[in-house]
Amino acid sequence: MARAGSGGWWRSARRRVSRAVAVDPADSDVDRMRLELLVRVGELSNVELDTATRLEALLDSMLPDIADACAIFLVDDDHLHLTGARHVDPSRATHLADPTLRGPFRITGSHPTARAVRAREPVLDTPTVDNRSDRLRGLGLGSVLTLPLLRRDEAVGALLLAFEPARPSLGSDDVAFAVELARRVTVSLDTGHRLEQEREVAETLQEHLLPRGLPHVVGLQLAGRYMGATKGIYVGGDWYDAVSLGGDCVAVAIGDVVGHGLPAANAMGRLRAGLHLCMVDGLSPAEALARLNRYAFSFEESEMATVQIGLLDVATRTFRFASAGHPPPLVVDDAGGRLIDSAPGVPLLTLADATYDDVVVTLAPGSTVLMYTDGLVERRGESLSLGLERLVDAPLDGRLSDALDNLLDELVPGGGHDDVAMVAARLVPRELVLDLVAEPAQLAGLRRSVRAWLIELGAPTGDVEDIIVAVNEAAANTVEHAYDDATSGTLRVVASASDAGVTITVSDRGAWRPQVPSGERGRGLQLMRDLVDDLEVSRGRADGPGTSVRLTRRVAFGDHASA
């Protein structure tokens, strides 16, 4: 067991620390020097780190002042499992991959970690140079000090410290110091375990608080995205939401609660609940923010937050929004992207009587409005204006949900980032009008146009395919029958969408030629009837205004994405 000695390596380490902090050893006692050496380990108990990062930091902090090699083992199912190891000499570090060194080791076995766990006391093995095992010789190590990691009276693991043969013999003060080191390692590991549990709870809470789906308004695409932070226990309070207000209007909101973990997730949940009440009451965005602010002040413990609320009216193409300290929304149309800048109000929980102002913007047809949290545009060490410029220049092409995925790939750094939330709305034409030459070559373009329009509206795939087949059949009949070979005729397709579904009329100005009796004739009408819910045909006459085919199909729109 521990052998008395001069404590030479401890005094050597103490001198190194004294030089680093410009302290005269003559004016310092052992307790102070011990604190200087332990502070790197102790401070980790107050830092939010994931388990892997915490273990790496703990191991790195012990070399070279404390030991030449170190390892941490944790107890699981009556075995000790290696969770991490370090060697001061990189050329020897590969030896740590030896399976015989990594375990697992039975607690009832003879391994030093098992003996320390069973005894609840330090175990010091000091083989002579000639009696070292091949494994220790390969690692260039001599004595090994193993300390149990104790949580109250329970041994949860072991800390192994190994030393080169050139190190002076360990004394009782060295072992006492190592015991304190092990205690602090245990505290840090317990902190990490608690934070991991808190993260899991916060992630579950956040997952259930974010919307599982977004409401549907005909003529509007909606999509949302949430991406959690990549480093540390940083479950944040970023969130988004959308609420249908009936008719042509939808409310969209984005928020960022200051802080992380359960407090931020709880505050996020309260704000979202309060927002729904404000929207149901028909408040303007500015009025809703003022009420949310008063609501937040009603809680004894709450977190400051930036919030942005917008009302989008599809019929009038207006976007009314108000901001509580949040980044400006982005509008993208045929002219490009631009930020709707305004003087944002103060964040929630800044002033109890804070007021906010509405900003109203008229949108061009096909415009996209994007609201986001600062994690999308902020990068450490650079101006926020650069991130906003990247956002303005980034494309938002294609289907809206795909566009948000591409935006995350382009703007969010891969090496680590904070939470990111986004919600976007795009105006989609409710009507489609096509004037075509009545020729077979035009049918492919007709199918493509109708398909793209239906997909933009959010029609399910099965409805899209059936409608295209029915429209194509109606147009093909016009091409074949409406005009004689000497006449270059036209056909018009007018499509409209509503909450009830889709109505498409295919019309011409020709006089249909008499059909030649055939077993194949008449099947087109039956096919169209099978594919739609209602079919009306107004046939042209030789001297009449042409023929129209009116197709109606009920469609359950709402292919809106959130993630």
Q: What is the pLDDT of residue 13?
A: 40
Same domain, 175 and 83: yes
Question: Is the residue at 275 inside a domain?
Answer: yes
Q: Are residues 185 and 226 in the same domain?
A: no
Q: Is residue 548 part of a domain?
A: yes
| One domain, residues 163 and 219 | no
Task: Give the pLDDT band (50/70/90) at residue 258.
Answer: confident
Concatenating the DSSP letter of every residue in 135-200 gives HHHHHT---EEEEEEEETTEEEEEEEEE--TTSPPP-HHHHHHHHHHHHHHHHHHHHHHHHHHHHH
How many Å apart are CA 163 and CA 9, to the nearest integer? 10
What local confidence, expressed as pLDDT, does residue 22 receive? 42
Residue 383: CATH number of its domain:
3.60.40.10
pLDDT band at 202 (very low <50, low <70, confident <90, very high): low
Q: Which residues contact 360 (CB under 8 A, 6 or more apart)?
A: 318, 319, 320
475: helix, strand or coil: helix
- State the chain's maximal CA–CA distance in angstroms: 119
Spatial strand order in the sheet of 249-260? 236-244, 249-260, 305-313, 318-324, 359-362
Handedness of CA 86, 88, 93, 96 (dihedral sign): negative
Residue 328 has pLDDT above 60, yes or no: yes
Dist CA 73 CA 22 (whole Å)? 35
CB 378 within 8 A of CB 418: yes
Q: Can you give the pLDDT at residue 34?
A: 58
Q: Any bridge partners for residue 172, and if so which?
A: none
Confirm whether pTM is higher than 0.75: no
User: Does residue 417 sit in the same domain as residue 457?
Assistant: no
Domain presence at residue 206 = no
CATH of the domain at 435: 3.30.565.10
- Predicted confidence at residue 318, as pLDDT, reads 96
Q: What's the pLDDT at 356? A: 96
Domain enclosing residue 27, as ranges = 8-200
pLDDT tens digits, 419-456: 899 999 999 999 999 999 988 999 999 999 999 999 88
Return the higher-pLDDT residue of 312 and 176.
Answer: 312
What is the structure's pLDDT at 540? Answer: 59
**Is the confidence at residue 551, as pLDDT, over 90?**
yes
* Residue 32: predicted pLDDT: 64
Q: Round to whole Å and give the CA distance between 528 and 531.
A: 5
Any domain includes 1: no
* Residue 24: per-residue pLDDT: 44
Do residues 56 and 90 touch, judged by C-beta distance below 8 A?
no
Task: Check residue 522 and report its DSSP letter.
Answer: T
Mean pLDDT within 305-318: 94
| Count: domains in the chain | 3
**Which amino acid, one-letter code, is at 54?**
R
- Among the listed residues 330, 356, 333, 362, the one whose alpha carbon sits nearest the alpha carbon of residue 343: 356
For residues 195 and 326, state if they share a domain.
no
Per-residue model confidence as pLDDT tens digits over 351-401: 999 999 999 999 999 999 999 999 999 888 888 899 999 999 999 988 899
pLDDT of residue 41: 72
Structure confidence at residue 169 (pLDDT)? 79
pLDDT value of residue 377:
93
Taking residues 149-154, report their average pLDDT.
86
14 pLDDT band (50/70/90 cuts)?
very low
Alpha carbon distance, N-terminus to C-terminus of the chain:
58
Lowest mean pLDDT among 210-219, 242-251, 465-474, 525-534: 210-219
Q: Which residue, 200, 235, 254, sits at the end of a domain?
A: 200
Rounded mean pLDDT of the chain? 81
In the predicted structure, residue 467 carries a pLDDT above the cut 60: yes
pLDDT band at 23 (very low <50, low <70, confident <90, very high): very low
Residue 400 and residue 443 in one domain: no
The per-residue pLDDT for 21 is 38
Q: Residues 351, 483: one domain?
A: no
pLDDT at residue 266 in the model: 73
User: Is residue 106 in some structural domain?
Assistant: yes
Which pLDDT belongs to residue 5?
Answer: 36
Q: Which tokens in the block code for residue 166?
A: 């050139």
Give the pLDDT band (50/70/90) at residue 418. confident
Instruction: Check residues 413 and 98 and name the one with the higher pLDDT.
Output: 413
Residue 226 domain-assigned (yes or no)? yes
Question: Among residues 148, 169, 10, 11, which one has the least CA distance to residue 80?
Answer: 148
Question: 398 lies in a domain?
Answer: yes
In 3-state terms, what secondary structure has residue 371? strand
SS3 for 457-468 is: HCCCHHHHHHHH
d(CA 222, CA 244): 11
The answer to whether residues 389 and 411 belong to one domain is yes
Can you list the alpha helix ranges (DSSP code H) found in 298-440?
A: 384-393, 400-411
Residue 288 has pLDDT above 90, yes or no: yes
Specify the 3-state DSSP secondary structure of 369. Answer: strand
**Confidence check: pLDDT of 12 > 60:** no
Q: What is the CATH number of the domain that holds 114?
A: 3.30.450.40
The rounded distance, in Å, linking the Cα atoms of 300 and 290 is: 18
The residue among 365, 398, 427 that closes a domain is: 427
Is a pLDDT exceeding 50 seen at residue 216?
A: yes
Instruction: Say what the pLDDT of residue 299 is.
Output: 80
pLDDT at 533: 94
Same domain, 404 and 518: no
Measure the CA–CA gap between 113 and 19, rounded to whole angstroms. Answer: 34
Residue 18 has pLDDT above 50, yes or no: no
DSSP codes, 203-244: HHHHHHHS-SS---BTTEEEEEEEE--SSSS--EEEEEEEEE
pLDDT value at position 1? 36
Please check whether residue 347 is in contact with residue 306, taking contact to mean a CB–CB distance below 8 angstroms: yes
Query: Do 63 and 161 share a structural domain?
Result: yes
How far apart are the C-alpha atoms of 196 and 177, rounded to whole Å?
A: 29
pLDDT the model gives residue 534: 94
315, 405: one domain: yes
Three-state DSSP class for residue 272: helix
Least trusted range by pLDDT, from 58-62, 263-267, 530-534: 263-267
CA within 13 Å, CB half, 5: 17
Report pLDDT for 304: 87
Among the three residues 427, 453, 470, which one is the final residue of a domain in this structure? 427
- In this structure, is residue 3 part of a structural domain? no
Same-domain status, 93 and 179: yes
Amino acid at the residue 434: L
**Do 215 and 250 meet the contact criterion of CB atoms below 8 Å apart?**
yes
pLDDT > 70 fraction of the chain, expressed in percent and rounded: 79
